[in-house]
Amino acid sequence: MNFTFTEEQLLLQESARQFFAQHSPSAAVRAAMNSANGYDESVWSRLVNDMGWTGIATPEAYGGLGLGQIEMAIVQQEMGRTLFASPFLASIGLAIPALLAAATAPQRERWLPALAAGQRIAALACTGARGRPGAAGVEAVLSAGPDNRYTLNGKAGFVVFGHVADLLIVAARAPGSSGEQGISLIALPRDTAGMKIEKVVAMDLTRPYARIEFDGVEVGADAILGAPEQAGAALARTLALGNIALAAEQVGAAEQCLAFTVEYTKQRVQFGRAIGSFQAVKHKLADMMVRIEAAKSAVYYAACAADEDPALLPEAAAVAKSFCSDIFNLCAGDAIQLHGGIGFTWEHDAHLYFKRARASANLLGDTIHQREQIAQQLFDGDQPLLRQLGGL
């Protein structure tokens, strides 16, 4: 048991912090959010070629760095700090874990090396047009036909960076199935016939979504990752890892909200004093820090659990995502409040964080959903979490 970063992890944190400070300042984030693609391809290629982080948690056998979820969380946290706009979460945080969890060896060999090397970008389409959380949110329908041919129909929404993806990993369910039953994960190149992809305008401009319509898309058996209708557990693992990555990003972003608000309250003078000298202000900032430090513990614990003990993963991811969503919403909201009028302007960055907070909380299952996952394990069935508390 040792709950500190290794020297290598500290170095990674430092170089990530420097990289995003240099390449993702406010002006760059704003340029990206006003661009058609939603990200800066030249910075992306630096990240790919100079840093190699697109392969961070992909096994070396597929050309990755073979590192773990702690390292993934470290990089995500630093990306969150500057609201770095990129398809990193979509491709590295979601699509690669889905392939690793569900795909056969030949499928992995086919798709992973190009994604890990950053030559291709993938996105995960795992929820319907309404963005409902978890397995219940999978609404696209995959119908089996004769000769191992399948047909995909329906819609997907909230597909992060889906409009630039070369490859879509699509979750779909068998007709009439529900919950985790009957779910398949399908790998479809973006030019697949019958698939219409369009970028939508959403509140958070730093991480665009696409909506996708599947209209009689013909799916070959080799496009289905692993066995058909058996990917429920793989999707759950993918969502759990994605939620940990999101939670890490939320912590970094919340830290930045605290940092720029502390700086402002030291400078801003009212009633002849820096407003940061008033307890009403100090205590709000202190509360932000208390929650941020706790959120870091939640993220690092969840990342450790993901690497060391798959049995702990669902609970640890739900703990991290629910807590970090709440604290980021709170920190971004208080950042606006403590800046006063200037915090409500388009010019100030506070609203970018505030909107990312809301969007990232909803993405892959909101706090109500995460807490209900925990509640089920405490109260229902054989109550595994109550057993763990020593209450059974």
Give residues in contact with another protein (CB under 8 A). 1-6, 9, 70, 258, 262, 265-266, 273-274, 276-277, 279, 281-283, 285-287, 289-290, 293-298, 300-301, 303-305, 308-309, 315-316, 318-319, 322-323, 368, 370-375, 378-379, 383, 385-386, 389-392
Q: Which is nearer to another protein, 344 or 379 (CB)?
A: 379
Q: Which is nearer to another protein, 14 or 293 (CB)?
A: 293
What is the nearest approach in angstroms of another protein to the Cβ of residue 180?
20
What is the nearest approach in angstroms of another protein to the Cβ of residue 301?
4
Is 391 in a helix, a strand, or coil? coil
Residue 145: is it exposed, middle or buried by C-beta count within 10 angstroms (0-12/13-18/19+)? exposed
Cα(386)–Cα(376) distance, rounded to whole angstroms?
Answer: 10
What is the nearest approach in angstroms of another protein to the Cβ of residue 330?
14
Q: Which is nearer to another protein, 130 or 273 (CB)?
A: 273
What is the nearest approach in angstroms of another protein to the Cβ of residue 43?
29
What is the nearest approach in angstroms of another protein to the Cβ of residue 297?
4
Q: Which is nearer to another protein, 108 or 321 (CB)?
A: 321
Neighbours of 143 (CB within 10 A): 14
Q: Which is nearer to another protein, 192 or 370 (CB)?
A: 370
Is 148 in a helix, a strand, or coil? coil
What is the nearest approach in angstroms of another protein to the Cβ of residue 83?
22
Distances (CA, A) of 192 to 123, 166, 167, 360: 14, 10, 10, 29
Cα(25)–Cα(257) distance, rounded to whole angstroms?
Answer: 14
Q: Which is nearer to another protein, 4 or 34 (CB)?
A: 4
Distances (CA, A) of 157 to 39, 170, 220, 225: 20, 11, 23, 21
User: For 341, phi and psi rounded to 5 degrees?
Assistant: -50, -40
